[in-house]
């Protein structure tokens, strides 16, 4: 079954969006805001936190601005997709991951008034304090993975270095 590049990108985006929203619905239903569940004590918790900012809570309290930025980012990705190895399956998957993740967090910003984060890695220090990585969600994972793939494909692209380096295709 052959698929057009745009259809493949949209399919990946829809799978990411669906998976992200289902996990957030489950967290909201079974855990609820402000509650936590320790999966591996001293290392991993499932939490239910709202974030009106971006990564690492930067721009905290700017939910509407970040929702607008997400909307324009989706348009920019779609209109500029031909510049990101879109002719390869890997490029289509990378842009689909980014688009689906952006959509997942945008839905949260519109429906919840913030992004729902629920995966929290941390280390408990000897004095009892915690050293934690900011909480995140599946949409964040998809965005970071998609961006990483775009950089990886660009790094391996002969257009970047002007050499005959092999293309990385999936």
Q: How many other C-beta atoms are found inside a 10 Å radius of the C-beta of residue 67?
A: 18
pLDDT 10s digits, 51-75: 999 887 788 999 999 999 999 999 9
d(CA 125, CA 44): 14
Task: Place 86 in a pLDDT band, splitting at 50, 70 and 90.
Answer: confident
Mean per-residue pLDDT, 153-159:
71
Q: What is the mean pLDDT of residues 72-101?
A: 92
Partners of residue 120 on adjacent β-strands: 45
**Which of the residues 20, 85, 108, 140 is marked catalytic?**
140
pLDDT of 156 strictly over 90: no
In this model, does residue 19 exceed pLDDT 70? yes
Helices (H), 3-81: 5-30, 63-79
Catalytic entry in 20, 85, 108, 117: 117
Residue 148 is inside which H or E element, if any? helix 138-156
Q: How much is the pLDDT for 87?
A: 85
104/25 Cα distance (integer angstroms): 12
Distance CA(167)–CA(116), nearest Å, equals 37
Active site residue 140: yes
Give the pair of three-digit tokens for residue 131. Answer: 């050293």
Q: Is the pLDDT of residue 151 over 50?
A: yes
85 is catalytic: no
Most confident of the following: 22-36, 50-64, 77-91? 22-36
- Convert 141-162 to b/e letters by CB count within 10 Å (16 or more is b): bbbebbeebbeebbebbeeeee
Could you tell me where the beta strands, DSSP code E, fall in the chain?
36-40, 44-51, 115-124, 130-132
Terminal Cα distance for the chain, rounded: 16
């Amino acid at each position: 079954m052959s698929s057009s590049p745009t259809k493949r990108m949209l399919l990946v985006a829809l799978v990411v969006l669906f998976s992200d929203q289902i996990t957030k619905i489950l967290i909201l239903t079974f855990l609820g805001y402000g509650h936590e569940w320790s999966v591996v004590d001293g290392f991993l918790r499932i939490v239910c936190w709202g974030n009106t900012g971006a990564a690492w809570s930067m721009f905290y309290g700017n939910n509407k601005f970040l929702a607008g930025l997400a909307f324009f980012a989706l348009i920019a990705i779609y209109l500029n997709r031909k510049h990101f190895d879109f002719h390869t399956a890997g490029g289509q998957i990378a842009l689909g991951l980014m688009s689906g993740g952006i959509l997942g967090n945008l839905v949260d910003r519109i429906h919840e008034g913030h992004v729902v984060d629920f995966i929290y890695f941390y280390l408990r220090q000897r004095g009892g304090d915690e050293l934690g990585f900011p909480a995140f969600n599946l949409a964040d994972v998809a965005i970071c993975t998609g961006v990483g793939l775009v950089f990886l494909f660009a790094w391996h692209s002969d257009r970047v270095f002007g050499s005959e380096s092999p293309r990385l295709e999936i």
